[in-house]
């Protein structure tokens, strides 16, 4: 497999390097031939850290600004998420439809990634363009572990989407009983 940019390529001998496969399958980035060879040869998190550290500030910003963190969060790539956060990726960056990396992790049930993102300042109650919060998306999709994590970290359990539905409503609508147990109705004063 090869990952090709306009002027360079990274050659990966096999799929034994899942981190590199992930990067190449999602984004093109510019590295020197030596950096590419080293990254391809190592195929691990340390190689990615080294490559990111050696990029000039503008190239690093461009690389991190392409929402790689959103992709890694959605796919549950915990090591990539940690590395990108360490390198300065914005955990609250808005991507497509106003979704943050935490929205992506919550929607796809990536509890480990949700832990990493919230520990690094991700907004628990960030809203998408249509008003969905990470908790709303996790509840809608029945991701119990993510709902537990977000609730434990202090997400607003009653925050309603613009259409008027709260996470509890969507969990009930789709029959996610274990999620319903985590989101009991609140007494109103």
Low-confidence ranges of the chain (pLDDT < 70): 1-44, 47-48, 51-52, 54-67, 186-189
According to the model, what pLDDT value does residue 25 have? 47
Q: How far is Cα 87 from Cα 166, in angstroms, rounded to an integer?
A: 35
Which pLDDT does position 187 carry in this prediction? 53
The pLDDT of residue 146: 99
Q: What is the pLDDT of residue 69?
A: 84
Q: What is the pLDDT of residue 148?
A: 97
The domain locations on the chain are: 1-56, 67-189
Question: Does residue 121 come out as left (phi exceeding 0), alpha (psi in the -120 to 50 range) or beta?
Answer: left
Q: Distance (Å, rounded) from C-alpha 73 to C-alpha 89? A: 12
CATH 3.60.20.30 correct for 67-189: no
Which residue reads 């796919």 in tokens? 75
pTM above 0.75, yes or no: no
């Amino acid at each position: 497999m090869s990952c090709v940019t306009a002027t360079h390529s990274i050659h990966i001998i096999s799929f034994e390097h899942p981190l590199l496969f992930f990067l190449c399958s999602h984004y093109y980035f510019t590295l020197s031939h030596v950096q590419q060879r080293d990254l391809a040869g190592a195929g691990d998190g340390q190689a990615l850290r080294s490559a990111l550290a050696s990029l000039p500030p503008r190239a690093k910003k461009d690389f991190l600004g392409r929402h790689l963190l959103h992709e890694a969060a959605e796919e549950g790539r915990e090591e990539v998420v940690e590395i990108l956060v360490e390198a300065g990726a914005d955990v609250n960056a808005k991507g497509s439809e106003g979704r943050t990396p935490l929205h992506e992790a919550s929607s796809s049930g990536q509890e480990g990634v949700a832990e990493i993102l919230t520990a690094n300042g991700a907004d628990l109650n960030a809203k998408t363009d249509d008003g969905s919060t990470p908790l709303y998306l996790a509840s809608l999709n029945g991701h119990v572990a993510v709902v537990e994590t977000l609730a434990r970290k202090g997400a607003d359990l009653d925050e309603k989407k613009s259409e008027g539905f709260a996470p509890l409503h969507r969990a009930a609508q789709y029959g996610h009983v274990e999620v319903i147990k985590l989101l009991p109705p609140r007494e109103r004063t």
